[in-house]
A and B are shown apart, each in its own frame.
Chain A
Amino acid sequence: MNHVKNKLKNRLQDITIQVKLISVFTITSLIILTVNIFMYFNINIMVNQLDQVYISNIKLNELSDKLGEVQTVMTDYLNTKTSDSIEDYYKYEQDYANLVYNINGNITSNPLGMMERNIKEMSQNYLTITNQAIEAKRGRNVEKYKLRYENAAELYKYINMYIYSLNNELFRNNASNYETLSRSLQYLETVSTVIMLMVALSSVVLITMVTKTITSPLKVLASTANQVAKGNFEVELVKVTTKDEVGVVSTAFNKMVVSIQEYIRKLKDGMDKEREMEENELLIETHLKDAQLKYLQAQINPHFLFNTLNAGAQLAMMEGADKTYWYVQHVADFFRYNVKKNNGTVTLKEEIELVDNYIYILNVRFSGKINFKKNIDEKYIKIHTPSMILQPIVENSVNYGISNINWPGLIELSVYEKLDKVCISIKDNGIGMSQELMNDVMNNKMKTADLSKDSNGVGLDNVIARLRLFYEHEDVFYIISEGKNKGTEVLICIPFMKGECENV
């Protein structure tokens, strides 16, 4: 049962729009056609009935006319005895006899039928009498033909009256029949109008419904297509319920959406792969650079350098060259610090010692040309700072501040407290800095290439960046200069905790 039902359902879904429309149109048209045919059929029947009704009247009139003619020509013959009239008489007599012969002479309960029967019988008698009259006239039997003529005239009167009466009765009947017919025709009109209206109405409903089944999937399809057009490729697929033209379009649309989705996925995969490859390339480059760096570092082994310098210092001590010994010893210390403390934190004291070492080395190199003054509050020398902070600043002061001046250069290092911060000031009396230059330095716009060859590689920008990162604060580093030849002061203000100083 269910199987059959499903089968039927499938069949229904397989119907194409064309077939649907055609079938709806055909069904409604057929019904309308049937109703129309039926109506016309009925009207035809009624008209036929009407004809039938009047045909009897027509027949009777014919009969009456013929009878009159027979009577006239008989009288004429009896009067004149012309051969024309006898010829006419036989002709009319034959016609009339034929007409009479066709009358139904059965005995029925229909009074009109009985009248017909009587007309028939009387007419036959009448014809017999007229024939006798004619015969008598020919035989010149005056008495007889006179009598027959009288008989015939009487009978003629009766027959005429009968025909007249029958005609009258028929007409009366027909009048009522006509009334019935016209009433039926009116009924027919009303009923046919009602049927037409009903059928038309239901056809409209039917067609509306069928067209709705066609248009509603189209609407769904259109809305989905609009979504796709707006860029939403992850739309729900259109549900295909029928296999008609719309169903075919919907299926094609679904296929399109699916293939678009597939295409997009493939495209994404390709892009991912490409990016991965780029990342790999970058990594390889970094590794290469790292390796190169390691290689370079490995070429200058600091321990080898310290040991070499220590050997030099011992040699100088054994030879009694004390100055050389100290010089080499300071250089060794300077480089060791560089190697050891390159990363990580150190105390302020260690930083200051490095500056001392640097100044000593420079003074040996430049024959004590640099005056270095320290003004340090011992309370704060245990404070932790990033390494390699002060030496680059001092180097900067030596290289740029006081290298090219005509007066004796002085570098002053002070450590003091100010507004709950420890301030480390490196001040020179050199050429000073323009505001522009100061801004450039502060904003890290100096180029690395500008560094002098004598540098140990650490620039001011690096110092500033590390200080800011370390203290997580922007306002740690200041450059103060009052103009050209008026010296420069670099001020580092670092926050500190009370505990740090008390531990000293």
Chain B
Amino acid sequence: MSKTNNKEKHRATDIKSRKVLVTAYTCSTIFMLFLTIGCLIYFNRLTTTNENKMIGEKYKTYSHYYVMITNNRKSSFWQSVYEGAKAEALKENSFIEMLGNNLSEEYSAEELMQIAIDSEVDGIILEANESNEMEVLINKANAAGIPVITALGDNNTSARKSFVGVNSYNLGMTYGEQVCEIENITSNIASDIDGTTVLVLMNTNADDTSQNIIFTGIQDAIKNSASKSSIINIEAVAISNDGAFAAEESIRDIFINQDNVPDIIICMNELNTTCVYQAVVDYNKVGKINIIGYYDSETIRKAIERSVIHSTISVNTEQLGMYCVSALDEYKQTGHVSEYFSVDISLITSDNVNEYLGEANEPRKE
């Protein structure tokens, strides 16, 4: 009896062990297969990402190649202009490059202009000045069949196709109005006999008519608004921006001469605004010198918030870039384009700076 039992038991365990064996066999084979397949997939993914990292996503090909040449391409102002231009260019299947970005040497606008001409680009957006050299280059480009659009700074006499910029007279008027507003606030407690001194920081290039127009605008605005215009003295100072750090040094010079410190300083570009702001803080003139700035970089907005800068004139940079590219495109398509595009300006004071601050905190939309 027990023997047969044992027999059955033995048989049962035999079958059981066989089953276990078969399962183990299958399991280990499947495990190995899965391991291999899993690693295959993992590695494929890894190499693909590597490829992407190294070669980059497949670049799109464009029909036109435009370049943007500015004096200060790293400033947030021009970066913003570039973004606006790029967005517009992409719509028209064109590619725009801020020339000089990847070059190991720093070149002047003129040299970059020469490079652009030699590179036979399809169009140039140029922050021009009224110099002869620039005129020659623009004409050379034009002769080579490259349309040149001047942005913000014009070269009126050259063969440039269009100018995109701020209406200088309007700009001057806005500056002047700001001066009057400051005058109104301070005149009540004004103690100085000499009246209010307004210092306008201009670029060294005296030929630049737009500066003159701005200056005229300021004067007109002051004349129109206030009866006390007689005691507002407007002075223009040329700030050199040819050499490196020249602007900063020139501005410091104004402050060093303690006797003749102006009450209001009007800055005509982003760099000057930032420099003046820093100088005012450094020489402890906050509250004594009012700054009317230009452009709304992060630093400038912060300064307005802290009331170091009274107000700043913000140019719609993206609009500027956009107009430049659309002018180029228009010329490419039709062969002619409007001579002048006006870009919107807006005033930022301590009253509305918060909107711009909020805007800056948000990621920039293109």
| A191 neighbours in B (Cβ, 8 Å) | 39, 42-43
Instruction: Give the Cβ gap from B33 to chain A, nearest Cβ, in Å.
Output: 7
| Cβ–Cβ contact A49 & B54, under 8 A | yes
A164: nearest chain-B partner, CB-CB: B104
Q: Taking chain B's interface residues, is the majority helix, strand, or loop, or is none over half, making it mixed?
A: helix
| A187 neighbours in B (Cβ, 8 Å) | 46
| Cβ–Cβ contact A165 & B102, under 8 A | yes
CB within 8 Å for A107 and B114 given contacts A35-B36, A209-B24: no
| A contact residues, range | 35 or more
Please tell me which stretch of A77-85, A118-126, A278-286 contacts chain B, meaning at least 4 of its Cβ atoms lie within 8 angstroms of it.
A118-126
Give how many B residues have a beta carbon under 8 Å from the other chain's beta carbons. 52
CB within 8 Å for A111 and B24 given contacts A45-B47, A46-B50, A117-B65: no
| Cβ–Cβ contact B53 & A177, under 8 A | yes
| Cβ–Cβ contact B114 & A188, under 8 A | no
Tell me, in angstroms, the Cα distance from A184 to B104 when the chains sit together. 31
| B101 neighbours in A (Cβ, 8 Å) | 111
Indicate with 1 or 0, residue by residue over B229-253, a CB within 8 angstroms of chain A CB atoms: 0000000000000000000000000
- Does A202 have its Cβ within 8 Å of any Cβ on chain B? yes
- Does B298 have its Cβ within 8 Å of any Cβ on chain A? no
| Cβ–Cβ contact A165 & B50, under 8 A | no
| Cβ–Cβ contact A110 & B118, under 8 A | no
| Cβ–Cβ contact B36 & A165, under 8 A | no
A112: nearest chain-B partner, CB-CB: B102
- Does B31 have its Cβ within 8 Å of any Cβ on chain A? yes
| Cβ–Cβ contact A165 & B31, under 8 A | no
Indicate with 1 or 0, residue by residue over A321-359, a CB within 8 angstroms of chain B CB atoms: 000000000000000000000000000000000000000
| Cβ–Cβ contact A161 & B50, under 8 A | no
Tell me, in angstroms, the Cα distance from A166 to B120 when the chains sit together. 18
A159: nearest chain-B partner, CB-CB: B118
Instruction: Give the Cβ gap from B83 to chain A, nearest Cβ, in Å.
Output: 14
| Cβ–Cβ contact A31 & B36, under 8 A | yes
Indicate with 1 or 0, residue by residue over A83-127, a CB within 8 angstroms of chain B CB atoms: 000000000000000000000001111111111011001100110
Of B17, B21, B55, B95, most A-chain CB atoms within 10 Å: B95
| Cβ–Cβ contact A109 & B21, under 8 A | no
User: Which residue in A34, A168, A205 is a CB contact (below 8 Å) of B28?
Assistant: A205
| A12 neighbours in B (Cβ, 8 Å) | 22
Tell me, in angstroms, the Cα distance from A165 to B102 when the chains sit together. 7
Provide 28 A-B residue pairs closer than 8 Å at the C-beta atoms, listed in order of the A residue: A27-B32, A28-B32, A35-B39, A38-B39, A53-B54, A107-B63, A108-B59, A108-B95, A109-B60, A109-B95, A111-B97, A113-B59, A118-B115, A122-B115, A122-B119, A165-B105, A180-B54, A181-B50, A184-B50, A188-B43, A191-B39, A195-B39, A198-B31, A203-B32, A205-B24, A210-B25, A239-B11, A241-B14
User: In the complex, given contacts A35-B36, A115-B102, what are 8 additional A-B residue pairs having Cβ atoms less than 8 angstroms apart?
Assistant: A38-B39, A49-B54, A108-B59, A122-B118, A165-B104, A184-B50, A195-B35, A205-B28
Which 5 residue pairs are nearest across A and B when measured between Cβ atoms?
A108-B59, A118-B119, A107-B65, A110-B59, A165-B104
